[in-house]
Chains A and B, each alone.
Chain A
Amino acid sequence: MAEYEPVLLANIHKLDSHRLATYEAAGGYRTLRRVLAEQSPAEVIEVVRASNLRGRGGAGFPTGLKWSFLPEDHPGPFYMCVNADESEPGTFCNRVQMELDPHQVIEGIILGCYATRASTAYVYLRYEYPLALERLESAMAECYEKGYLGKNILGREFSLDIYVHRGAGAYICGEETGLIESLEGRRAWPRIKPPFPAVEGLFRKPTVINNVETLTCVLHILDRGVDWFKSIGTPSEPNNPRDPGSYGPKLYGISGHVNRPGLVELPLGIPCRELIEEYGGGVRQGRRVKAVVPGGLSTGVMTEAELDTPLDFNGPLRVGCLGLGTAGVIVLDETYSMIDFLHNSCRFFAHESCGQCTPCREGTHWAVAMLQRIKAGRGRLKDLDLLLEIADNIGIIPGTTICGLADGAAWPIKTAIRKFRSEFEDFIRRTNPAGYLDRQPPQAMAMVAPHGNGSTRSEARSLKHEIRKK
């Protein structure tokens, strides 16, 4: 493959990349000028629709289609919510974009708002990104001064205000309707859909929610054209007329046991092995890969044998993962225990479950309790089937839960136990030689608060203490 020239990350290595002057010197805001002068909102939507751009936030829903759901005859106002609540473990692409190229993000937001006729945009920014907040706010101030934001942008009819709304450390606020509820000043409990936000969203008005990276893709589609965008990535499957394909550039975050963790921009569909070897610098200390999370924790794990999977929207599905997700690739080497991995994953989702739906609230907590028990040397082989039963049943949509969190929590369980079952079984046999075949309900044991004292070591210690007392 010829060397790919980054577009989304083209500016980040420049000196003062976050300043307006730097951005304009590289041609910044010229697309905004041209589009406002030459294209109507409907035409912009048509361009984005023709590009088959799919949302970069995790679900991969076609952006143009999402925009076209907005009602034609609504008196307004329309709202744009920019999802910058990036909290999926392994994902950090939005952070880098907002910190190092905030003007690109803002230009994308303005164009998105122009297309969707929104006159107010809220950037829902997770609290843990103070530098992104600072950079966005100072970039916005520059824009107001320059007339890119505010009333009658560049002398046209179109007006727009952008506000940054800070989150408060809750993963669920990344779910579209959880984000809306949180913005409205309530607990971030996802809403039952329909109505979808495009019809009735923020403040009960038509609302579009787009990810930061998605909006920057919109900018480049409008700048370089649909043909450019579709020349990159994986085309639609010819025998599936409903497959929108995986076109365009994508930001891949590489973390975990690699020599060079970081963010790279590549055409969608790069094989996972190539990503790790070429762009992640290979596995640390020359070790072998044991497992790879292809796109943020909730997508599950792939094995070493599955590493040639292309990382596009369909690739991870073919090896039994949830999908491409956020393309946050987490590499685990052969020394890392899958029991630790799964315990960590279950603990995360149990902590982040909003508690609204019973299967998710209870399922995620029981899963972490069982894994704690396994880690403490009291696991039974039966537990693995029980965990799978939880995983196969907590997140069926529609049916069990309102949003996708439970489904996301289930994939690491399903994939880790099914693909690494012998490791789990060996661990249970080794650590609980007397009781691994036990089929009776386990003796009640005082639960260690899974979040109260934080570290697994002390959890294990107090568990042992607990066991000794019995």
Chain B
Amino acid sequence: MPTTEPHLSDEIRTAIRAYFPRYPNRRAVVLPALHVVHQRLGHVPHEAVVEIAEILELAPAEVLDTLSFYGFFKQDKPMGRLRVWVCRSISCAACGGEVLLEHLCRRLGVRPGETTPDGRITLEFAECLGACDHAPAMLAGDTLYKKLTVEKIDEFVESLRS
């Protein structure tokens, strides 16, 4: 369905173009462009793929090819305002990470990969956050939560309410 209104704002387009001087070709800007869009829109919808392809002078299929490889990017609907990653890899799991992930799932009422109905939180499991010295660890937005406990998770959930 053709739309007259472009999906990507001028601000997004400028942010994508700002990456051009860094690389000898535009294809290399695919990942930075996906990050720009994902960060602002919370996902990379199909219309955005088409427009990114236009900006980068690629076929939409080429952008989609790259996009679909990285499970990091959401395609269907926007994520919550805060994305929370709970590590489930071995160092964290050995220190109770999986139990804590399960606890947070219960507290938020969502499974990993899902967003709370109020659109606040998208919960994810992480395959090693590289914070094994702080196990069990959780990354919420840009904040690393170290040495998690059930109490700390409860506190975290409470802090979201206020």
Contacts and interface: CB of A to CB of B under 8 A. Distances in A.
Interface of A: 86-92, 94-95, 126-131, 161, 163, 165-171, 182-188, 203, 253-257, 261-263, 293, 297, 328, 330, 332, 336, 340-341, 344-345, 348, 351-352, 354, 451-458
A330 B132 contact: yes
Given A89-B90, A344-B93, A131 B144 contact: yes
16 contacts: A92-B130, A95-B130, A128-B139, A131-B144, A185-B56, A186-B30, A187-B68, A255-B135, A256-B90, A256-B132, A330-B91, A344-B93, A348-B90, A455-B112, A457-B99, A457-B102
Interface in B13-46: 22, 24-25, 27-32, 34-35
Contacts of A330: 90-91, 94, 132
A62 B144 CA distance: 35
B66 A454 contact: no
A203 B24 contact: yes
Given A89-B90, A95-B130, A183-B31, 15 more contacts: A95-B131, A128-B126, A161-B22, A165-B31, A166-B31, A182-B31, A185-B30, A293-B90, A328-B132, A330-B91, A330-B132, A344-B88, A455-B88, A455-B101, A456-B98
A184 B27 contact: yes
Given A168-B34, A458-B102, A128 B28 contact: no
Nearest to A189: B69
Contacts of B142: 130-131
Contact of A348 (B28, B70, B85, B89): B89
B111 A88 contact: no
A253 B98 CA distance: 21
B139 to A, nearest CB: 6
B28 A126 contact: no
A245 B81 CA distance: 51
Contact of B102 (A94, A163, A182, A455): A455
Interface string B102-146: 100100000111000000000001111111111100010010100
Contacts of A86: 130
Most buried by A among B73, B130, B134: B130
Nearest 7 pairs between A and B by C-beta? Answer: A185-B30, A255-B132, A187-B69, A454-B112, A168-B70, A130-B142, A168-B72
A316 to B, nearest CB: 17
Contacts of A91: 128, 130, 132
Contacts of B128: 87-91, 171, 348
Nearest to B102: A455
B98 A455 contact: yes
Contacts of B153: none
A87 B25 CA distance: 28
A344 B90 contact: yes
Contacts of A168: 31, 34-35, 70, 72-73
A163 B31 CA distance: 14
B71 interface: yes
B91 A255 contact: yes
Contacts of A170: 69-72
Contacts of B34: 168
B65 A186 contact: yes
B50 interface: no
Contact of A92 (B22, B30, B133): B133
A251 B102 CA distance: 33
B25 to A, nearest CB: 7
Contacts of B93: 340, 344
A257 B94 contact: yes
Contacts of B102: 455, 457-458
Contact of A187 (B29, B65, B89, B111): B65
B133 A166 contact: no
Contacts of A166: 31-32, 35
Given A168-B31, A187-B66, A254 B129 contact: no
Nearest to B111: A453
B95 interface: yes
A170 B71 CA distance: 8
B132 A261 contact: yes
A320 to B, nearest CB: 19
A341 B95 CA distance: 12
A258 B41 CA distance: 42
B105 A454 contact: yes
Contacts of A297: 89-90
A127 to B, nearest CB: 7
A345 B93 CA distance: 10
A245 B90 CA distance: 30
A321 B28 CA distance: 37
B33 to A, nearest CB: 9
Given A92-B132, A256-B94, A352 B127 contact: yes
Most buried by A among B89, B90, B133, B134: B90
B69 A90 contact: no
Given A92-B130, A166-B35, A187-B65, A332 B94 contact: yes
B91 A256 contact: yes
